[in-house]
Amino acid sequence: MKKSSFISMKKILAFLILAIMVLTPITSKAAFSFWPFGNRDNVNTAVNNKYADIDNYKSFLNEAKSFMQGLNTNMSVDDMKIDIIDKITELQEKYSDTTVIPYISNKILNTTIASSDTSTSGLLNSIISTIQSFLGNTNLAIESLKPNVVVDDMVATTAGELSGEAYAVNLSGNIYYANPDANGNPTSNKWVVLVHGFMMNGQAMADAIGHMYIDQGFNILAPDLRGFGNSGGNEGKGGMGYLDSLDIWDWLTYLNEHYTCDEIFVHGVSLGGATTLFLSGLEVDGRTLKDQNVIGLVDDCGYTSMTGIVEDLLNTLGSNELVAKILGIFNVTDLSQIISRDTIKDMLINQVDVGLTAENFDEHENALASLEKCQLPILIIHGTSDTTVPFENSTRVYETAMNNPNIPYVQRFEAEGEQHAFIILGNKENVYEGHVDNFIAQAEKVASGAQVDKVSDYQEEAAESPSLISGLIKALKLIKNMFSF
């Protein structure tokens, strides 16, 4: 084969690999395979092992229910109790990898042992009723935060003006009031905009961390980013942070036009964290975030550039069997050695459609360029074991923030041993909330004109283990919201 032909074949192959990775439709359960909470293994570990796999949960309960329905009611109550205890103990061992099973099996065992029923039919009815109550939770109808207002007629005007009319899509978002009055109107003038990650939506984000702000008296705006939830745009594909930051600017304008906003925080996770970074130094028609009454930013595991995150994702695909064979053919260790930055740039512009052109891509694809213009306090959060958005991203964010003399306060939460977007699944929740509460207090001091040390001296509290059932409920909410669009 001629060298030129071989090089062309490599370019074509590289293009196809990247196209498959970026453009494959992400729907239903396939969402977990390219979801920025990590690769499939990370998600299975986080949801299935730590918070109970939904299929095992249902299988355990259905097997238990089927066994109960097959019991002979002519036996004595004591003999039936022994049979039930033996079966539940057997099933508990069978499904021992599912975290919530000990909780529900003990509930069934306690109900059995404590039952005062003198008839086997009465005992069975109480046990089956208990099982049925747990089965009722697996329909994913877990109670979520209820929005006070649903906005479904927003238009992405800033993206339309800066990137072209095609990007002026319809946007949707939910608003939750912290303390509504008797007429259902908000009584607080404090707000937070929660910006979700890839393959999530506003409701999932509000359910994951909204209570931290509700408890502090903040109203919440949780928009669906373009391409997700009920917002328009390329379904299953976000704007990679740049377009999304323009949309958040429009949401800030919406809040200030419709409500009294004494202070606003913007808190993003994953893609939402990157969006917050892209937003941090944004200026539109001579106005900055300060003019929008924003007083603080929270970046949780956001990536620092579009090309950088694609290169990072390419470097994690080596365990894929097909990719591994391709790497072997070219005698390289990762796909970024085959796929050039120019190829990635071309894909992001022409296939992913991030709202940039060949002329302005280099200027806007790096979120740190925006952070260099930021004038607001920032809280930087990242798990040290993040394999999706490497922890080094947060180090670059921290260094950029520290080198920017206009950023008055910088707080950092290095979550030791935690994976990507760990708060979404409830890890170190009390530590996370402590950081958020302290950051709010410091940012409010800055906004009032008080002087604070730029480097935070906050001492975080010890982590508490979440209850098994609260973990299950959080996982069920997350799955429900992910599959709702």
Residue 210 has phi, psi (to 5 degrees) of -60, -35
- pTM of the predicted model over 0.75: no
CB-based contacts of 237, cutoff 8 Å, min separation 6: 22, 23, 227, 352, 353
User: In tens digits, what is the pLDDT along the chain, a chain of 485 residues?
Assistant: 454 544 555 555 555 555 544 444 333 333 333 344 444 344 334 333 333 345 677 788 889 989 998 999 899 888 898 889 889 888 888 886 554 566 577 778 878 887 888 899 999 988 888 887 777 544 322 446 889 999 999 999 999 999 999 999 999 999 999 989 999 999 999 999 999 998 788 988 998 899 899 989 999 999 999 998 899 987 756 789 999 999 999 999 999 999 999 999 999 999 999 999 999 999 999 999 999 999 999 999 999 999 999 888 777 665 556 666 666 766 777 666 777 788 889 889 988 889 999 999 999 999 999 999 999 999 999 999 998 899 999 999 999 999 999 999 999 999 999 988 988 877 888 899 999 999 999 999 999 999 999 999 999 988 876 555 455 556 655 655 554 44
Q: What is the pLDDT of residue 149?
A: 96
pLDDT given for residue 55 in this prediction? 63
Give the pLDDT score at 155: 97
pLDDT reported for residue 282: 97
What's the confidence (pLDDT) of residue 253?
Answer: 98
Structure tokens at 341: 């930055």
